[in-house]
Amino acid sequence: MAKNSQYKILVADDEPAITEGLSELLKEEGYKTTKVYDGTEAWELVENQPFNLVLVDLMIPGMNGLEILDEIKKKDLLTEVIIITGKGTISTAVEAMKAGAYDYLTKPVQPNRLRTIIPRALERQDLVMTNKKLEETIKSMSRYEDMIGQHEKMRQVYRLVDSVADTTANVLITGESGTGKELVARAIHNKSSRADGPFIAVNCTAFPRDILENELFGHEKGAFTGAVSEKAGCFEMANGGTLFLDEIGEMPADTQAKLLRALEEKRFRRLGGTQEIVVDVRVIAATNRNIKKALADGALREDLYYRLSVMEIDLPPLRERMSDLIPLLNEFLSIFNERNTKDVKGFAPECLDALRKYDWPGNVRELKNVVERAVILSTGDTIELKHLPKLTAAPNLKQTTDAEAVSVGKTLHDIEKEVIFKTLKMTKNNKTKAAKILGISLKTMHNKLNKYYLERELEEES
């Protein structure tokens, strides 16, 4: 009841008996009510005062109920509308609902119906208001947790993080390398009720299979040669918090099966252990692979994918949100100014131009590295072109969408370089895979890359 007094309701009907009766009933329920007997006056009140709800007679003189509803929707006002109607006009009232009215009441109004319908309409109003407020705060923000960017694609990401944070759902984050997947995982953790619990990150590519399983599940003393004491795995360490599994697509298949079991049963055994350990862990996984392909290749088990991807968040590559370039540059400039006790103020115009034209295959991470290097190299107030690496060094793929297109008129050396960079891009910088595709050894790949980087440095120095 006390809560009801925060709601303002307008009752508009030209029949005084109805208006009085309704507003008496509403007052008894504790709502703040205003009475009016004319449609035009009703609209003026709604337009100028924040009513939560208006009960309006369909046939009221002046502006009628439908016209008022129409104006409310046109002006994007958040006031909910309930139409009051006589027996003969129910079909019109149904029309009004299609036009956005919450519901209708037929005369004579049944007090019980009124008592059920009003709280529901107000509940919807609360929800709409909260969403709108959230929308507005997100819109005005260029920073969300540690993430910079207000491109619509990033806002969508923030909205998803907000809605999923405080649930128990596992989350799968996809996106190219360097797009900020780990930042998103941390944001989800920080916004969840687990924020005070641990955030444990495991990179699945960093370990060979046996060691990865040992990392995840731990072991008992004597589980294998060298297991001189027991060791808790990341699952145990993340108890009450979040376990972030990076590069899940690189996890060996049988480890994936074990992980799935642990997720489904919320319990597991340490290596060499007999006792089941029960944990309360939220798992967030990430991959820079194309999910469809990873599933088709069998790199990611389908059952595990469904278990992990209750909620999927896909991060846009930097080249698809270039309006965020400047805010990102400013952020990194201040980070690296501080770290290097420098006071670089900004970027020369031709420098910005080069940064804008580049397609950033390494995304935000690459941009961050470029700014760090430039801040270190710069001696004056501004970062100049000479402080940037040669940003066209990776072939500009915008010109040739056909991956196999070879430009005639280039030296064999340049063509080889181009093909190597394109293949690296295709494999998302996975050198092992790129070498396999190109039919060269990993060592040759490294040698060639070192040679190209060396050439680039020499070109820059000359």
**Ramachandran angles phi, psi of 57, nearest 5°:** -70, 135
d(CA 306, CA 170): 10
Residues 70, 118, 132: CA angle, nearest 5 degrees: 55
C-beta closer to Mg ion: residue 190 or 400: 190
C-beta closer to ligand ATP: residue 121 or 161: 161
The DSSP result for 177-239, as a single string, is TTSSHHHHHHHHHHHSTTTTS-EEEEETTSS-HHHHHHHHHEE-TTSSTT--S-EE-HHHHTT
The DSSP result for 393-443, as a single string, is SS--TTT--STT---TTS-HHHHHHHHHHHHHHHTTT-HHHHHHHHT--HH
Least Cβ distance, residue 196 to ligand ATP (angstroms): 22
| Residues whose CB is less than 8 angstroms from the CB of residue 155 and which lie 6 or more positions away in sequence, other chains included | 138, 139
Instruction: Give pairs for 233-237: CB < 8 Å, separation 24+.
Output: 233/270, 234/200, 234/202, 235/262, 235/268, 235/277, 235/279, 235/281, 236/277, 236/279, 237/198, 237/200
C-beta closer to Mg ion: residue 189 or 270: 189
* Residues at the contact surface with ligand ATP, assessed by CB under 6 A: 147-149, 175, 177-183, 246, 288, 331, 364-365, 368
Least Cβ distance, residue 364 to ligand ATP (angstroms): 4
Least Cβ distance, residue 292 to ligand ATP (angstroms): 18
Residue 364 interacts with which of Mg ion, ligand ATP, none, CB < 5 to 8 Å by class: ligand ATP
| Interface with Mg ion, residue 182, by CB under 5 A | yes
C-beta closer to ligand ATP: residue 42 or 285: 285
C-beta closer to Mg ion: residue 181 or 289: 181
Considering only residues 111-140, where is the footprint of Mg ion by CB under 5 A?
A: none
Chain position whose Cβ is nearest to Mg ion: 182
Residue that is written with structure tokens 């862990």 in the block: 281
**Part in contact with Mg ion (CB under 5 A); list of ranges 143-151, 175-183, 277-285, 451-459:** 175-183
C-beta closer to ligand ATP: residue 65 or 149: 149
What is the size of the binding site for Mg ion (CB under 5 A)?
A: 3
Residue 368 interacts with which of Mg ion, ligand ATP, none, CB < 5 to 8 Å by class: ligand ATP
C-beta closer to ligand ATP: residue 183 or 333: 183
Considering only residues 20-49, where is the footprint of Mg ion by CB under 5 A?
A: none
- Which residue from 111, 63, 65, 116 is spatially nearest to 86, judged by alpha carbons? 65
Least Cβ distance, residue 369 to ligand ATP (angstroms): 9
Rounded (to 5) percent helix, strand, coil in the chain: 50, 15, 35
β-strand 311-314 against 171-174: which pairing, if any?
parallel
Considering only residues 228-267, where is the footprint of Mg ion by CB under 5 A?
A: 246
Least Cβ distance, residue 288 to ligand ATP (angstroms): 4
d(CA 287, CA 266): 22
Residue 183 interacts with which of ligand ATP, Mg ion, none, CB < 5 to 8 Å by class: ligand ATP
Residue 395 interacts with which of ligand ATP, Mg ion, none, CB < 5 to 8 Å by class: none
Residue 362 interacts with which of ligand ATP, Mg ion, none, CB < 5 to 8 Å by class: none
C-beta closer to ligand ATP: residue 73 or 365: 365
Least Cβ distance, residue 138 to ligand ATP (angstroms): 14
C-beta closer to Mg ion: residue 69 or 212: 212
The DSSP result for 314-382, as a single string, is EPPPGGG-GGGHHHHHHHHHHHHHHHTT----EE-HHHHHHHHH---TTHHHHHHHHHHHHHHH--SSE
Say if residues 174 and 288 touch (Cβ distance below 8 Å): yes
Chain position whose Cβ is nearest to ligand ATP: 180
Least Cβ distance, residue 173 to ligand ATP (angstroms): 8
C-beta closer to ligand ATP: residue 39 or 149: 149
Give me 304's structure tokens: 């595990």
Least Cβ distance, residue 177 to ligand ATP (angstroms): 4
Least Cβ distance, residue 213 to ligand ATP (angstroms): 21
d(CA 383, CA 374): 7
Considering only residues 283-322, where is the footprint of Mg ion by CB under 5 A?
A: none
Least Cβ distance, residue 398 to ligand ATP (angstroms): 22
Name the residues that contact Mg ion, by CB under 5 A. Answer: 181-182, 246
